[in-house]
Amino acid sequence: MGKLDVTPSLVSTDIFPARPSFGTKGKPIVVWANYFRIHIKPVKLYKYTVSASERAKEGASDKKGKSGKASASKVTPKEVKGRKLHLAIQKALEQFRRNQPGLIVATEFKSNIFTLQPLNADNGIISVELPRSSEGDQFDTIDVQLEGPTEVPLAKLLEWLTKMDDAEPRQTYPKYPDAVDALNGILGTRARSDMDKIASFGSKFFPFGDREVIQALLVSSRPLVAARGYFQSTRLGTGRLLLNVNVTHSVFKISGRLDEIFRKLDVQAFNGRIGWGAKKLTALNKFLQKTRVVVTFKVNGGKMVQGQKTMQGIVVASALSRRRAQDHPPRVTQNWEFPGPKNVEFWRLDDNGINGRYVSVYDHYREKYGKTLNDRLPMIQLGNVEKPVFFPAEYITIAEGQKVLARLTGEETTDMLRFACRTPFKNALSISTDSREILELDNSYLNDFGITVDKHLLAVHARILSVPTVKYRDTGKQTPMNGSWNMRNVKVYKSGPVIRRWSWVNILFDERSLPVDGSIVQEFGSFMRGSMGISIDAPIRLAIDSISANNVKGQGPGSLRKYFELAKAQQITHVLVILSKASQNDRDGVYNAVKTFGDCDYGIQTSCVVAFKFAKSDPGYFANVGLKWNLKGGGVNHKIQDETGVLKDGRTMIAGYDVTHPTNMMDSRKATEAPSLAGLVASVDRDLGQWPSISWEQASRQEMLDNSLASAFSSRIQLWKKHNKGECPSRIIIFRDGVSEGQFSQVLDIELPLIREAMAKTCPKGQQPKLSIIVSVKRHQTRFFPTKPEEMTNSGNIKNGTVVDRGITQARYWDFFLTAHNALQGTARPAHYTVLLDEVFRYRGKAEAANELEKLTHELCYLFGRATKAVSICPPAYYADIVCERARAHRSEWFGAGDTASESSSATVNTQNRQVHENLKDTMYYI
């Protein structure tokens, strides 16, 4: 929860404004939402905060000081986290239940315990013992610390749902988060209880074992599976509590015997340090590090047991070489960088523990256990460099439910999307049936807390908004059908200035690739000029028209840098870059290099096309590329024929901004050091066709924008003034993309003052624009399903233009869900819009404020300039996201191809001053 800290003058009805009314425009329909109603009896609910620490093992001590000695009396207890914390809390609750028969208790196995009666814990500490998986019958002692209890304000929450009065300050949002968190903890307790059957991550639950729904992703050397699970979260509605449940998918490490996994991946021990085999094993080794495995081994007394360990990866000879100076270090057969069991020897003492000799892992298992190992499989490291522990793959099983955050390759992404793409009917059926079993929503355990969950999806009222007419040049216009239209017999609404000097270059990925002939490029220019009405001269052939992809990052003759130097010298303003093949995820770094050279270093507009598509001279493909060229050149492709309310006087500026964070990096150090990137776009006139941008770096994983927002926003207002005879806009409507509900207050607390500062600097006193700030979110779990065949699309989805502003919303706040686009496959995801500040719409007429905002947002979705279809989220937010992605492309040192961003050392990376070139900074270079 965030609590806004602002001056009294700002705490007004404009902040978190009450919904002025529900929308009325459009065709009324009823849809199903992926929500179940929760019924709850008012009970007294207690909350304890939980932490745990592990006592030092006997004889342990902290690290040595300067004297080289350490005192056992100064050992610091080790904080317990993750899986071990889960087991410790589970053990503690078992003790409480034994001591307090009939105790009703719940937990999320992380930081909280919820009960209907106080716990008997005199000193707030309960000690439990957990077996050491690797040491037979030895145990670790864990002290579970409880703080509390505090009473959960459940009764106040239930009262607020029925009255929705603002007894709490208006700026407190969301309401009663402690009570909502408690309900989420209770509802998820049963599903979280058995870690071996269900892997839970926050609000997501993935079943494994008998109930798993998975698909292997084995197109690369990484053993991955895609898994299907369920999301659940308690939501507040008007007068009722709701449970949002959705189908979700994620990527996990494949489970099973490691030797069988190696065989599926065609992985073998490797003699050498270079070549494809070494590269493949290096990547696999990095992927397997910190993997949780089940190991079969013998303990004292000869008993074979299974225990859980953390794998350190494949045995790598060069890593073992650090121990050569020690007594009896492991030995590896020369040149075997990734050895098998015959190639690794360790020092083994005899049964008396006196005499020893070197023995290979292969011979050790044959002599001691009578087992013959597969000598072609790599060895596994379960210890560390100082104390290595070698195991053969046959005795290791990768445990289920280990989520992977790595960036997927193009092939993996394709397989993942194919697995996750399901019809609305299938998803609705899974939510109504399977989810209830996985999440145990019908378990009598919930009744103990006075909770029941309805068995049927919630039916809510919705409306289908009217489709706007799209205007082109002169009398040209198109009426979209099913959210899309074509440009047949029309020309762009407005061409930018004449593109006089432009050229092309082929980038060839292999020796067999052939450059696209210049005549095709000439044809493309003629198409833009004749069919699309874009002002452009004939292309200019430069001395260099083909470059090897292998030389993209080079410096010498034939390199991409030399090409751009030549283009700059020839005053080329636009370059068509023809790639001989599509590169998934820019694995080769070609795209990033092109955009960095063009956008930042030389100030030349670039557009990339794929050779085999471009060479067909297909009018549809030419048109799609041409739309981008016109936007980059300053033109307007199309607009809405009938301007809506706030746009009619041409004095409304619309802006959007977003922040993107370093995610899915296998290199954890770079994930914490890589910068977050902010992107801001804003319209420059009433056409809403040009959206120049600005981007900048800020602290890693910081969502709220820093002080740079003030100068960045000021630059957007200055640009507006440049295009509007020096006048400031009368009003500014901002779409803030991507913040969570818990951060809404921070937008007003941190970002709003910076925006006010920018307006004060650029607009005269007394002419300050009125502001509205609307948060747009696509990353949520709400979905809608049609209830009648005549109200669904060919893909089984709700129709484009469907808006929902009641049933699952709170009447107190002003928000709505809008599905502007036509989802061709899968289940349509609506955009969720929430008004944080409004000084515009309600002052133009309270009765129509909701209708006007919904109409504006809907029609904006038809103004995404590079497409002839309605998009799923309004262009200011969409463009801001694209700007952030382009800023990532400009920083390949951090965000390059592959899992680890780049081969550069992050200690030497400084990209903060990398900015878009002066020639392009006020253009749509990013499109």
Task: Give the CATH number for residue 764.
Answer: 3.30.420.10
3-state SS class at 115: strand
Q: Are 226 and 251 in contact (CB under 8 A)?
A: yes
730 and 791 in a single domain? The answer is yes
- For the chain, percent of residues with pLDDT exceeding 90: 75
Q: How far apart are CA 454 and CA 646, in angstroms?
A: 43
Residue where a domain terminates, one of 594, 615, 632 = 632
DSSP string, 713-738: HHHHHHHHHHHTTTPPPSEEEEEEES
To the nearest 10°, the Cα dihedral for 72, 74, 79, 80?
A: 20
Residue type, 114: F
Structure tokens at 651: 């004095």
Last-in-domain residue among 398, 430, 451: 398
Task: Return the pLDDT at 59.
Answer: 59
CA distance 596 to 895: 13
Contacts of 316-322 with CB under 8 Å at 24 or more apart are 316/285, 316/381, 318/273, 319/385, 320/385, 320/388, 322/385
Whether 71 maps to a domain, the answer reads: no
Domain containing residue 362: CATH number: 2.170.260.10
Average the pLDDT over each of 749-753, 836-840, 902-906 and give the range with the smallest value. 902-906
- Identify the pLDDT of residue 495: 98
Domain annotation covers residue 127: no
Name every residue whose Cβ is closer than 8 Å to that of residue 125 and which is 6 or more positions away in sequence. Answer: 143, 144, 145, 146
Residue 40: burial class (beta carbons within 10 Å; 0-12, 13-18, 19+):
buried
Out of 17-21, 67-71, 149-153, pick the least confident.
67-71
State how far the Cα of 837 lies from the Cα of 842, in Å rounded to an integer: 11
User: Tell me: the pLDDT tens digits for 435-488?
Assistant: 999 999 999 999 999 999 999 999 999 999 999 999 999 999 999 999 999 999
Specify the CATH number for the domain of residue 624: 3.40.50.2300
Split at pLDDT 50, 70, 90, the class of 6 is very low
The whole domain housing 328 covers 256-398
**Residue 606 shares a structural domain with residue 693:** no
Entry pTM: 0.92
Q: Which residue from 171, 136, 144, 41 is spatially nearest to 85, judged by alpha carbons?
A: 144
Residue 82: inside a domain:
no
Q: Same domain for 717 and 834? A: yes
Residue 654 lies in a domain: yes
Do 666 and 579 fall within a single domain? no
pLDDT score for 152: 98
Task: Give CA–CA dist 461/30, Å, rounded.
Answer: 5
pLDDT digit string (tens) for 41-72? 999 999 999 999 999 876 555 544 444 444 44
Name the pLDDT band for 491 (thresholds 50, 70, 90): very high
Q: Which helix (H) or strand (E) holds 359?
A: strand 356-360
Q: Is residue 54 part of a domain?
A: no
pLDDT band at residue 313, thresholds of 50, 70 and 90?
A: very high
Cβ count near 528 (within 10 Å): 24
83 occurs within a structural domain: no
CA gap 341, 374 in Å, rounded: 8
Phi, psi of 738, rounded to the nearest 5 degrees: 85, 5
Query: What pLDDT is attached to residue 299?
Result: 62
> Is residue 135 scored above 80 in pLDDT?
no
pLDDT band at 327 (very low <50, low <70, confident <90, very high): confident
Domain boundary among 632, 648, 676: 632
CB-based burial label for 611 (10 Å; 0-12, 13-18, 19+): buried
Work out how many domains the chain is built from and give that number: 3
Q: Is the same domain home to 595 and 718?
A: no
Whether 591 and 660 map to the same domain: the answer is no
SS3 279: helix
625 & 643 share domain: no
Do 604 and 647 fall into the same domain?
A: no
Residue 540 lies in a domain: yes
Please tell me whether residues 617 and 655 are part of one structural domain: no
Kindly state whether residues 588 and 731 are assigned to the same domain: no
Of the candidates 477, 447, 458, the one whose C-alpha atom is nearest the C-alpha of residue 186 is 447
Question: CA-CA distance, 552 to 550, in Å (whole number)?
Answer: 6
- Has residue 344 got a pLDDT over 90? yes
Residue 787 counted as domain residue: yes
Residues 569 and 682 in one domain: no
- Cβ count near 917 (within 10 Å): 16
- Clarify whether residues 712 and 760 are in a common domain: yes
Whether the CB-CB separation of 575 and 504 falls below 8 Å is answered with: yes
Question: SS in 3 state form for 460-512?
Answer: EEEEECCCCCEECCCCCEECCECCECCCCCCCCCECCCCECCEEEEEEECCCC
What is the Cα–Cα distance from 2 to 50, expressed in whole angstroms?
23
